[in-house]
A and B are shown apart, each in its own frame.
Chain A
Amino acid sequence: MSQLQPAFGLSKRSATTAALPAAKPAVQVAKLIDVSKCIGCKACQVACMEWNDLRQDIEENVGVYENPHDLSPNAWTLMRFTEWENPERGQLEWLIRKDGCMHCQDPGCLKACPAPGAIVQYSNGIVDFISANCIGCGYCVKGCPFNSPRISTADNKAYKCTLCSDRVAVGQGPACAKACPTKAITFGTKDDMKKLAAERVEDLKERGYSKAGLYDPPGVQGTHVMYVLHHLDKPALYAGLAENPRISPLVEVWKGAGKYAGLALLGITAAFGVVHHLLAGANRVTEEDEENAEKLRGGGA
């Protein structure tokens, strides 16, 4: 269960047209994941299970490093492993990306969600699913450009990384960041994380990774989980990280113009009925019609 953290103000609330109470402008937070420092030990996965009390069922070993096979209602973060032969450097690279919700500044999940308050964005940028309001429709799955949310078949609620909003609310960093032995995961204000990333990128460039950079995709107005990548020009190398993530135009149509066009069409159809009845009046059977029918029967067909 993921619960609302009253310590934070809200900047967005799903399926809510009324204005939100003004929240004090809060400092934007971010988690920085330095892929170049990750050794794939999965301490973060364990810490996440531990803090959030999640236990994924034991699965079959199919000969890959990923365990479990995919994100799930009980696995909110997953190390994804890619072996890549770098043609320029002539070396094998092991690219390990910690997958999970990216905490988009413009969250597609929240845009798609039909249940008021089932998804919120706190004023510090964290996107949280509020289980008590969730109806389990799975619209968030269609809204998300990163394929992060998962619907539980046990309680029909949507789950994903909370960025440890409950820990952040009491001044702690996320459990994964605390557990990471190489400090590949760090947490702080978004500004600080960008500065730290800039240092790391410079270091990587000096070491010959000329395309190193910070993944903070503008298509979703930036994210509150960012990656330092050695190959920012090829994000798809990292187990299919989205090249240009943005809310799908299909979702925009469905949740935007489509709603108003739809409601308008229904309104016009109903109004047509009312106006037509006022102008044309009821279409009544006359006595003459009844007599004609009697005559038809009387005289045979």
Chain B
Amino acid sequence: MRQVVVIALNTFRENLRDKILYNLLFFALLLIGVPVLLADLTIMEHRKIVTDMGLAAINLVGVIIAVFVGIGLVSKEIERRTIYTIMARPIRRTQFILGKYLGLALTLLVNVSIMLPVYFGTLWVYRAPVHGALLQAIELIFIELLLVTALALFFSTFSTATLSATFTLALYVIGHLSTDLKGIAEKSESETVRMAMKAVYYLCPNLEVLNMKGQAAMGVSVAWSYQALASVYGLLYVALLISAACVVFQRRDF
């Protein structure tokens, strides 16, 4: 466990010293606060935009960080050969993978924690209603970020950063369309298309399950049972991906 913590904290420190992270955070804060500049809108429209944009910004910037830092978590260590001195220490490969993952998860958590008060501050300035539903949506966004990080980490254990980015982004998009894919599958005439679409639907994580932004922005809470089930669904996927990453990484030569 100690080894995992050492790696995680060092990964967190690496992220903190990455200037790109600050640019992204700045960008997010801008997105959250920027509707100020949109003129010619009624107060009601303004409030709605602030609420929607903020959630979208928290989500988008989180995903960008999860993907672009996540794809380098392992592949960068191998390409830069920093892995040699690490793996020559009394540390198991699974501990290394877990540590890298938790390091980035911590970065994302801190990131969301910084955006959250700014978001609520903006809402307050506009007198937009602040619901518990927003927090629920943000919790599910965070689960999505954990899932995307696990996807990026998994790909990064066996392919280069560029390929991992492609795979991860592709799965992210499919993950959001997967309900549509199922719809297409049911309507399709061809048996093969139906099977293929079904396979994609069941294999890819269904990220729409974790998307409660629209509902939350209108102030509609999610049932707690749904919230819990969706979170567990996301975390199970994370566990699956990390286990797969460990299996792949275990067999690698450096």
User: Do A and B assemble together?
Assistant: no
Q: Which residues in B have some Cβ–Cβ distance to A below 8 Å?
A: none
